[in-house]
Amino acid sequence: MITLSMSRLTVVNPGVFTTIQDSGRFGFGKYGVPVSGAMDVESFKLANQLVGNPHHYPVLECTLQGGLYRFDSDAEIAITGAEMNPVVNGKLIEMNCTHRISKGDELILGFAEKGCRSYLAIFGLLQADKIMESYSTYTLAGFGGYSGRALKKNDILKWEPTAKVEFSHETLKPIDLDKVPNVKVTLGTEWEWLDKKIQEQFFDSNFKVMNQSNRMGIRLDGRALKSPDQQMISSPVIPGIIQLPENGKPIILMKDGQTIGGYPRIAKVVDDDLWKLAQLKPGNSLSFRKVM
């Protein structure tokens, strides 16, 4: 049985970059505050659903390698997203299902074999800094989540029990990580600024994710696209917008990206495909496909 008192775990090893994220903070773009929140919304929601939490509850988002966590209380957990081969007390456990953890158990999340980000949900409400109606960590400004930063060794995470949510009429499925490379887009506001040959090149090209990619944006490498000659006034941008800077290497804005941009907005990744970008590692390739 899971106790009704405040439960906790200890971060023994925080992995490469692990933060607390929820569904995001909305309505603050006019103040320069991005949405933040889980990069892969589908896996985030599934993790919460599996443990019986509301879909918007905060979870741990683990990037590339998840780390080691010692549970100082009984817990009920689920792990979704990138395949990090989770191990409890030396025994491999399945992803995308619910597990009961006992006090003293240790959970290891290894390096992602497929995908980039895993989500660890714990039944109950994680204790975190709630800023602007969201628990999400925005590390650039240093607020939300766990003191506005990625987790560190010896951090203590606490959670309190809440009512179980039943999802009998709503089911989510694990994402198919083998379908990541092809991304659907709509044409952007400045698309017509591009020459016809450059427009064709954009859809005919395979781009590679650069090492500089992060929660702010996915930077792409490949044959450079000729940037348009027109000068652009800084304008609002949102996650999924594809900007074309002067060097001709597209940048896809992500959850922690700026809210105003001065580069041409040549396309927009459809919301349903944003999870694909969240699961791309540096070196992975992708291409774009136009939809109406």
Q: Determine the pLDDT at residue 169.
A: 58
Could you give the C-alpha distances from 108 to 45, 113, 131, 258, in angstroms and in order?
A: 22, 14, 30, 33
Q: Whole-prediction pTM value?
A: 0.95
Q: Determine the pLDDT at residue 170.
A: 65
Q: Determine the pLDDT at residue 168.
A: 64
Would you place residue 171 in the very low, low, confident or very high pLDDT band (cuts 50, 70, 90)?
Answer: confident
pLDDT tens track for 256-291? 999 999 999 999 999 999 999 999 999 999 999 999
Overall average pLDDT of the 201-213 stretch: 97
Overall average pLDDT of the 79-90 stretch: 98
Q: Determine the pLDDT at residue 62.
A: 98
pLDDT reading at 136 higher than 90: yes
Overall average pLDDT of the 99-106 stretch: 98
- Where exactly are the structural domains of the chain? 7-174, 180-290
Q: Determine the pLDDT at residue 6.
A: 86
Q: Determine the pLDDT at residue 2.
A: 44
Q: Determine the pLDDT at residue 49.
A: 95
Q: Give percent of the chain with pLDDT exceeding 70.
A: 97
User: What is the Rg, in whole angstroms, of the alpha carbon atoms belonging to the chain?
Assistant: 20
Burial class (CB in 10 A: 0-12, 13-18, 19+), 113: exposed
DSSP, residue by residue, 225-251: PPPPSS----EE--TTEEE--TTS--E
Could you give the C-alpha distances from 23 to 20, 100, 243, in angstroms and in order?
A: 11, 25, 24
Torsion-angle region of residue 145: left (phi > 0), alpha (psi -120 to 50) or beta? left
Mean pLDDT over the full length of the chain: 95
Q: How far apart are CA 102 and CA 105, in angstroms?
A: 6
180-290 belongs to which homologous superfamily?
Answer: Cyclophilin-like (2.40.100.10)
